[in-house]
Structure 1
Amino acid sequence: MTQHSGHSPVRTLDDVDQALVHALQIAPRAGWNEIGAVLGLDAVTVARRWHRLTEAGAAWISCSPSPALASAGQGLLAFVEVDCASGSLLTVAQSLAQLPHVSTVEHVSGDRDLLLTVMAPDLAALTHWVTRGIGAMPGIVATRTHLANTVYAEGSRWRLRVLDRTQIARLADTGATRAEAPVFPLTDLDHALVAALSMNGRATYRALADACGASPDTVRRRLGRLFAAGMLQTRCEVARPLSEWPITVIQWGRAAAGELERVSRGVTGAREVRLCAGVTGRNNVLVVAWVKSLADVQRFEVRLAQRVPGLEITDRAVALWPLKLSGHLLDEEGYRIGGVPLDVRTAGAIPRSGAPRSAARPPERSGDV
């Protein structure tokens, strides 16, 4: 697990900070010279600004396998509800957060204690983990697993929306990673690169090479292939109190099977939506959105019903504490305090002690890539 150094806290983002975060949301691995040119600043200034934000846990860049892999039959995504015994919630949540294949852990309101986002190589590995891994953990009373059959939208699309159209267009050209090649089988090197990039999406080729035991040229070529095939998604996150959208609302809903595609397109058009997925079970749609206040939770549901009349919301929850987001550990306020490198392969491996495996330290250096 990595841990940030606890520098002076960042309680607000000024105009430059917001512009920098928005720029990195569009082009997460663009060089500082390119970012600075778009923002009208020198490379040293933007690099120093970003270092300050990351050291304070106020912003970070992660990387994870994209939905294209699951669509091609390489892995799957599941959402697991967990009910905990009285007094065991925090211990269970922290243990689950240490698992490399559990990408997100949220303590939520409503009819479940925890909601997990879980990656697995296949159904057999997921079943093995649910029955022999999480099913055997002390403090867990019950679990319910929902498979994602289609991911219509995910967090890398969310933006602060500070920059103007010209700046956005320039950055989009700089950071373009359009899927122009077919998905291919992941190698051990690819998995190692995902693990390293999940902790620092701006890690240099040299840092990645040192972490993965390969040459910088090999890393550059391999990442080029992975991004060209749309197999990785890199995104810039910001601590929730700094985003002006601090509340996460989770909604489960139903749509007619023949209307699911149309309904999902309508859902993903809403600015607040971070995730929209088709899932198995009594409900066939899962929506995760960011809103500005608790009062806005109900207003968002009303707006969504007006926008997408074919969707019936049947259950809803609010994230009380997102302990882990795409591999990154968060404190009660939403600031990054560490991370566990993502590795989908660990879903089928249960350590004998029942304790999570320790995670290798990823490369922390960043800069022009």
Structure 2
Amino acid sequence: MKAPNLTSSTHESAGSFGGPSSQLSAEQPAPLDELDYLLITALQTSPRAEWAQIGKVLGVDATTAARRWKHLTEAGHAWLSCYTVAVGPTVPIIAFIEVDCTAGALHEVAAEIANDPHLITIEHVTGARDLVLTAAFPDLAMLARYVGFRLGMLPGVSATRSQTATAVHTEGSRWRLDRLDPDSQDMLTKGRGTAAPRRGLPAPDALDTQLYLLLSEDFRQPAARLAERLGISPTTVRRRLDRMHRQDALIYRCEVARYLSGWPISVTLWGVAPAGETSRITTQLIRMRETRLCASLTGPHNLMLAVWLRSAEDIGAFEARLADRFPELAVMDRAVTLWPLKLAGHVLDPQGRHIRGVPVTFWEEPAAQHAEKTMLERLRAGH
């Protein structure tokens, strides 16, 4: 096995590597060292690998790897998340909701919705909207209920605009620090089966749902511990986990605080591409090193791209690369993330450090259901 290095990448090159510590002052010691970055990359590559396997790849023992990871999570520098996309015979609705807030109300609105379990991300951004939300719903009716009877009724919310994704071409769970060489990556992924496509999965039963919630706390818990907490046999837990993995029903993520990643600037771009060229363009966009999210949308801008960049100066350079490579793609709007308030179901501080997790599930709220019921009664009654 080759020693881990910094040269390998599964994405296209974005130029020279400044390193995460380049964002810190000369007097401030770097919070993470090279072993920390290698450990994070290993967990991004194979989130459920045994500590012994990870340690072997990194050249340390299992105890050292586990202890390092505990230190990272306790400091909020890195964390794990798990959520499911299994909702039944149809894929969930992924919506991007823009929220405008009245003066002085932004943080109150954000705090109010932070625990909404279906909100995967909440971002405070620059530009023509205050907050951008990424959310999952079982159907369009639930999206309408949330926007109309939850967000629309919150004090401090002045307007909302919603779009749904017709396709999510890539998302953050596929993004890597890429600090491991190909041989090390192969050692971590060896034996991993090919997952089934996420095109309608069996609706989870009550036991599946309980298992999802425990996995969202810590998906590296051994089957024996999960079985003990659920009151079932380890064999049953392993059988259900094997089924979920075959169906690709679980999304595992290992995240790092953005200011430590070497890519501290997060930018969302909205663009318009000819319908006949969208497939070709998105196929190339998702291979670009900077891309964290790429989705096709239903709104006037049919493409949405979220990228991480080295510096604010790189925003113009990145757009210039897009214009040169895809002259038919018109970037119509952009927003820089000021505070990633929530990422993949986890609440973060302004630096992007982990505070706490919020298990990702579908939203239900009696007050919104009651308001919708009252509206339906008025519609039935007429004048």
User: Are residue 114 (structure 1) and residue 138 (structure 2) matched?
Assistant: no
Deviation at 1:169, TM superposition (A): 1.1
Q: TM-score, normalised by structure 1?
A: 0.87
Q: Choose from 281, 291, 296 the match for 2:309.
A: 291
Deviation at 1:124, TM superposition (A): 1.1
2:264 corresponds in structure 1 to 246
Unpaired segments of 5 or more residues in structure 2?
A: 1-27, 371-383
Unpaired segments of 5 or more residues in structure 1?
A: 1-8, 355-369
**AA of the residue aligned to 2:123:** E
Deviation at 1:173, TM superposition (A): 1.3
Q: Choose from 1, 12, 17 the match for 2:36.
A: 17
Distance in 2 (alpha carbons) for counterparts of 1:225 and 1:351: 36
User: Are residue 335 (structure 1) and residue 353 (structure 2) matched?
Assistant: yes
SS across alignment from 1:304: helix
CA 114–61 in structure 1, closer or farther in 2 if over 3 Å, else same:
same
CA 329–211 in structure 1, closer or farther in 2 if over 3 Å, else same:
farther
Deviation at 1:294, TM superposition (A): 0.9
User: Are residue 44 (structure 1) and residue 60 (structure 2) matched?
Assistant: no
Distance in 1 (alpha carbons) for counterparts of 2:278 and 2:229: 42
How many residue pairs were aligned?
341
Write the deviation string for residues 233-253 of structure 1: whole angstroms up to 9, x where unpaired.
211100111100011100001
Distance in 2 (alpha carbons) for counterparts of 1:310 and 1:199: 44
1:143 corresponds in structure 2 to 160
**AA of the residue aligned to 2:141:** A
2:47 corresponds in structure 1 to 28
Distance in 2 (alpha carbons) for counterparts of 1:222 and 1:298: 48
2:212 corresponds in structure 1 to 194
Distance in 2 (alpha carbons) for counterparts of 1:286 and 1:106: 15
**AA of the residue aligned to 2:75:** A
Deviation at 1:13, TM superposition (A): 1.9
Task: Determine if contact 2:81/2:252 at 8 Å carries over to the other structure.
Answer: yes
CA radius of gyration, larger in: 2
1:357 corresponds in structure 2 to none
**AA of the residue aligned to 1:157:** R
Task: Determine if contact 1:255/1:312 at 8 Å carries over to the other structure.
Answer: yes
Task: Determine if contact 2:271/2:330 at 8 Å carries over to the other structure.
Answer: yes
SS across alignment from 1:104: strand
User: Are residue 179 (structure 1) and residue 179 (structure 2) matched?
Assistant: no
Distance in 1 (alpha carbons) for counterparts of 2:247 and 2:317: 39
User: Are residue 282 (structure 1) and residue 292 (structure 2) matched?
Assistant: no
- Map 1:59-78 onto structure 2 (within 5 A): 59-66=78-85, 73-78=90-95
SS across alignment from 1:263: helix
CA 350–74 in structure 1, closer or farther in 2 if over 3 Å, else same:
farther
1:314 corresponds in structure 2 to 332
Write the deviation string for residues 262-284 of structure 1: whole angstroms up to 9, x where unpaired.
11111111100000001111011
CA 210–103 in structure 1, closer or farther in 2 if over 3 Å, else same:
farther
Q: TM-score, normalised by structure 2?
A: 0.84
2:100 corresponds in structure 1 to 83
User: Are residue 168 (structure 1) and residue 168 (structure 2) matched?
Assistant: no
Distance in 2 (alpha carbons) for counterparts of 1:72 and 1:148: 18
User: Are residue 223 (structure 1) and residue 241 (structure 2) matched?
Assistant: yes
Distance in 2 (alpha carbons) for counterparts of 1:155 and 1:225: 23
- Provide the aligned C-alpha RMSD in A: 2.2
Percent of residue pairs bearing the same amino acid type: 46
Deviates more, 1:271-280 or 1:203-212: 203-212
SS across alignment from 1:270: coil
CA 76–214 in structure 1, closer or farther in 2 if over 3 Å, else same:
farther
SS across alignment from 2:190: helix
Distance in 2 (alpha carbons) for counterparts of 1:203 and 1:189: 17
Deviation at 1:224, TM superposition (A): 1.2
User: Are residue 101 (structure 1) and residue 137 (structure 2) matched?
Assistant: no
Deviation at 1:297, TM superposition (A): 1.4
